[in-house]
Chains A and B, each alone.
Chain A
Amino acid sequence: MVFASAIALGGMVLASLGQGEEAARAIRILAVVGALMATALILDLGGARRDRILLPVATLLISLGVILIFRIDGYLGSKQILWVLVGCAGLIGTYYLVDPVFNLSNWKYLAGVGAVALMVLTVILAPEKNGARLWLSLGGRFSLQPSELAKLLMVIFLAGYVAERGHLLRQLQRRRGGPSLQYRYLAPMLLMVVLCLGLFVGQRDLGTAALFFGLCVVMLYLATGRSVHAIGSLVLFVVGIVAAYHVFPHLQHRFAAWLNPWASITGVGYQPAQGMYALAEGGVGGAGLGLMPVTATNLPVASTDMIFAVLGQDLGLAGSVGVLLLYALFTVAGFRIAWRSRDTFNGLLAAGLTAMFALQAFIIVGGVLRVIPLTGLPMPLVSYGGTSMLANCIGLGLLLAVSREEAGN
């Protein structure tokens, strides 16, 4: 499997050579591939059986992302390589430390409180950028996007809480039917969720808020196995969206840009419309890597939110569908880990992390394709973003750790 990703990566080095840039630049992609291969080897040193699919798929996604970022902006590309290296270290650390050293289910409340604290800190300290307060400056050129880490922490918290109380939630509901008894156990979780949602909305980070809400619904459904929860939450979601639509002008603009970007092409509709242009230029086969110029003027935030549009432009429908298939495989492999896990907490953790990756990919790709309104979320493992890369790598490390555990003995 790791070998397979090497084949694909060889092709990528070729393709980036074809960009008409000097050869030295293409070699830097080898750093990414090498780091991930080394990660795989280091993970194998432990000797335990683990999942053999997630890491190659992630390797391909990450290196595709690095190629695209390089092709947009060389400086960002170099930084991204650095972040991939940090992410690999995080992955290895997570894989080896998580279970024997830290039992995550003991840390669930700390994780929950940590998530909320990170968000509060951001709301207080962060300056506004692109209409959202997301970045926490760490001095110098480095900044942190706490919501990425908060997502991870919340998955840990939800999995821990639901694993501990899941059978209570389920049983009380079935046997006595009275909602009051059931919601007594649900209350701490709901409190945490509402608090976090409020903070996300306070940050005007609606993409993360939507992702977060989706995560909670997934966890609740997995814990109780009742579709009533899912449907009820969906209704709640629609109500929430309608309410938010009337409260936040920010959201009204997003909707307007979604429904008809051409009406406000010089304003809020500019970004989605340019995304559509980029996809149209790509066509079925793609315009070729690096042949069409991508700049801040013709495609804003190309390296993060709109990276899927760049992908569509360069590799066309064929390449985009390939990447979506990679996400699909990633999701299937992740849910398989969850399904095979023998421990409730580990299973829920794996399912929650997989759902996080899948939902995030859906929300941002759907946004670029104008299936749903465009909201700012990084494309997992592909987009530029240091914190996002680190958080995703840690999440990947957790998934692999769970898969190792199920193979135990």
Chain B
Amino acid sequence: MEIALLAGKYVLVALIYVFVWMVYRGLIAQARADREEESARQARAEMPRMTGPAPVTTPRRTAPTPAPAVPAAIPAPAPSAPVAPMPPPMPVGSSAESVRSALTEDTAKEEPVREEPHVPALLAKELPSEIAAAEGLAPEEPVPATAAESVMEALGEPEPKPRPESPPAPVVPLAPTPGPEPGTLVVSPSTPRLVVLHSESPDLAPGREFPLLAAATIGRAGHSLVVLTDTFVSSQHALIFLKEGRRVLRDRGSTNGTLVNGHRISGDHILRDGDQIMVGTTMLRYVEPE
């Protein structure tokens, strides 16, 4: 009996250690899986992507030959949008600063509203020369005015398709209002985008796409990138920004909240391909092409 007791004790302790060892192996395996997942994600992030205010990496094109252009519909600010008063020859540096402050501080309540409209304008101004260089085009080449018109047409179509009269490179003007210097924006097939799944709002047909810039605002206000004319949407509802290669969705203290896959988010939420974002009565899907 004594011997059985002593043996039982050691067997028990040994079993505890066997268990610890198994769990430890499990954790190691998980950590390895996590690392692989992370590196796969980073590899994806290395793909052409839109860099925002700080043009650190130039968008790497997959092929020098122009791929079939997919001019995704660019959201036009609502007709009442206060785009016109915006001074067109805006210094790039100051707008970059304003975007950065909108991103980092995001004091939705305190932040002056007027800083918002600069987001598309900034990208429109800053990106073309860099992209044109990557494309092998002559820098500072002005974009033909027809391009702007073609996009205006494309806006009416829920299914964007390549248009023959668009320029060879997938260069699409961003600023839909005819300005003195229309900016351009490359929307490559690999640009992450929001796709409308369904909406009560008449101008948001299902299938409509919003390519995501480095910083994208969602709201009822006309200067948002994704303008949602919906009484359940706050004027400055949410923000999607780029952080360490990931798109992060942040609710900006909206009244009715932002839901991801049916869960109301609080604070920041890292987006993953296929996430369904519910803003007001509008359902959007976040698409991150491989």
Which residues of A come within 8 Å of B, CB atoms? 1, 4-5, 7-8, 11-12, 14-15, 17-18, 20, 52-53, 56-57, 60, 64, 99-100, 103, 105-106, 160, 163-164, 166-168, 171-172, 175, 285-286, 288-289, 291, 314-316, 318-319, 322-323, 325-326, 329, 332-333, 336, 340, 342-345, 405, 408-409
Contacts and interface: CB of A to CB of B under 8 A. Distances in A.
A315 B13 contact: yes
Given A14-B12, A53-B30, A286-B13, 20 more contacts: A1-B22, A11-B8, A12-B12, A14-B8, A17-B8, A18-B9, A53-B23, A53-B26, A57-B23, A175-B104, A285-B13, A316-B13, A319-B12, A323-B16, A325-B17, A329-B23, A336-B27, A342-B272, A343-B268, A344-B269
Nearest to A289: B9
Interface residues on B, range: 35 or more
B18 A333 contact: no
24 contacts: A1-B22, A4-B19, A7-B15, A11-B15, A12-B12, A14-B8, A15-B12, A17-B8, A53-B23, A53-B30, A167-B106, A285-B10, A288-B5, A288-B8, A289-B5, A329-B23, A333-B27, A343-B260, A343-B266, A344-B267, A345-B267, A408-B261, A409-B274, A409-B275
B266 A288 contact: no
Contact of A171 (B1, B104, B262): B104
A264 to B, nearest CB: 34
Given A8-B18, A53-B26, A164-B266, A409 B261 contact: yes
B11 A60 contact: no
Contact of A318 (B13, B27, B104, B105): B13
What's the dominant secondary structure at chain A's contact region?
helix
Given A12-B12, A289-B12, A322-B13, A342 B269 contact: yes
A326 B208 CA distance: 52
A342 B263 CA distance: 12
Interface of B: 1, 4-6, 8-13, 15-20, 22-24, 26-27, 30-31, 34, 104-107, 250, 260-272, 274-275
A105 B251 CA distance: 13
What's the dominant secondary structure at chain B's contact region?
helix
Contacts of A315: 9, 12-13
A226 to B, nearest CB: 15
B13 A99 contact: no
Q: Which 8 A-B pairs have the closest CB atoms?
A: A344-B267, A163-B267, A322-B16, A105-B266, A11-B15, A342-B270, A18-B8, A345-B266
B269 A329 contact: no
B265 A15 contact: no
Nearest to A408: B261
A167 B268 contact: yes
Nearest to A52: B26
A319 B17 CA distance: 9
A275 to B, nearest CB: 20
B263 A99 contact: yes
Nearest to A223: B267
A103 B1 CA distance: 56
B104 A18 contact: no
B18 A7 contact: yes
A340 B23 contact: no
A332 B268 CA distance: 23
B273 to A, nearest CB: 9
Contacts of A322: 13, 16-17, 20
A397 to B, nearest CB: 17
Given A175-B104, A285-B10, A332-B27, A5 B266 contact: no
B24 A18 contact: no
Nearest to B23: A329
B262 A100 contact: yes
Contacts of A291: 5
Nearest to B267: A344
Contact of B9 (A64, A288, A408): A288
A18 B23 contact: no
A8 B11 CA distance: 9
Nearest to B31: A336
A4 B27 contact: no
A6 B163 CA distance: 64
A103 B264 contact: yes
B19 A105 contact: no
Contacts of B15: 7-8, 11-12
Nearest to B34: A340
A343 B9 contact: no
